[in-house]
Amino acid sequence: MIFSIPDVLTAEQLNSIQTRLEKAEFVEGKLTAGWHAKLVKNNQQLKSGSSLLKELKTEVEQVIKQNLLFQTAVRPRRIHSLLFSRYEEGMSYGTHTDNALMGSRLLRSDVSFTLFLNSPDEYEGGELVIESADDEKAYKLEAGAMIVYPSSTLHRVDTVTKGTRLVVVGWVQSLVRDASQREILFDLDTARRAMFAREGKTPEFDLISKSVANLLRKWAE
C-alpha cells in the first residue's frame, strides 16, 4: 500500500530543521548504500554520528510516532535508520530496492518513507518514482508531507536539474510483516472508526473491534 500524509511537520518544525541543516556537515551518500546501490546513488547525507543527526532523528521519530494514519496503516514496531538527504543540481539516485536488513541490529525494512523538508517550488526534477509491474508513478510532495511505500518496491529519485532537494528517508520494521495483512487491518480499523464516529459504540462496532484485536494476535510478531 502506497499513501501520502500531509502536514506531518508544522511550518515551525520545518523552519527549525531547515535552519539547522543550513550549517550542517553533509557527506557522500554512497557511504550508507548497499554494494549494488552505490553504483547509482549520487546524493549527500547528514554526517553519521553527529550530535545534530541524533537530535533531528529523535525529533522526527517522535512526530511520526504520533501520527494516527501512520500508526494505523504501518503498525510500526521500530522506526529506524533515518537519513537526512540533500540533492544538489545534477544529483540523483537510480533504480534500486532497499536492503532487507539494516543497521548493526539487522532490523527488517518492511515499509519505507520519504518526508519532504522543502517546497517543490525550490527545485526542479528530483521526483521519487515508485515502479510497479506495468507502470510507475512520480511523487514530489509539499514540504512537511510524507510518502509511505513498501520497501520491497523498485524506486528511484530523478535527477535534480535546478535547486536543492531536502528529505528525510527512513524505514520501519512492522509488527505485521505481511503487507496484505496490514492492509486488511487498516481497512477494518478505518471502517470501525467511521462507524464509531457516526453511531457510537454499537454491537457491530464491538464485533469489528474483536476481529481487529484477534487478527493482531494472530499476525503480530
The string of pLDDT tens digits covering residues 80-137 is: 999 999 999 999 999 999 999 998 899 999 999 999 999 999 999 999 999 998 899 9
What pLDDT is recorded for position 146?
98
Tell me the C-alpha distance between 56 and 63, whole Å: 11
8-state DSSP, 182: H
Residue pair 47/53 in contact (Cβ under 8 Å)? The answer is: yes
Torsion of CA 139, 142, 146, 147, to 10 degrees: -10
pTM above 0.85, yes or no: yes
What pLDDT is recorded for position 39?
86
36 is an annotated ligand-binding site residue: no
Residue ranges of the alpha helices (H) in the chain?
A: 11-22, 51-65, 68-74, 179-199, 203-219
What pLDDT is recorded for position 107?
97
Ranges under pLDDT 50 in the chain: none
What pLDDT is recorded for position 2?
96
96 is an annotated ligand-binding site residue: yes
165 is an annotated ligand-binding site residue: yes
Q: Please tell me whether residue 101 adopts helix, strand or coil conformation.
A: strand
What pLDDT is recorded for position 31?
80
155 is an annotated ligand-binding site residue: yes
What pLDDT is recorded for position 32?
80
Helix axes 51-65, 11-22, angle to 10 degrees: 160
8-state DSSP, 23: T
Q: Please tell me whether residue 48 adopts helix, strand or coil conformation.
A: coil
The count of residues in the chain is 221
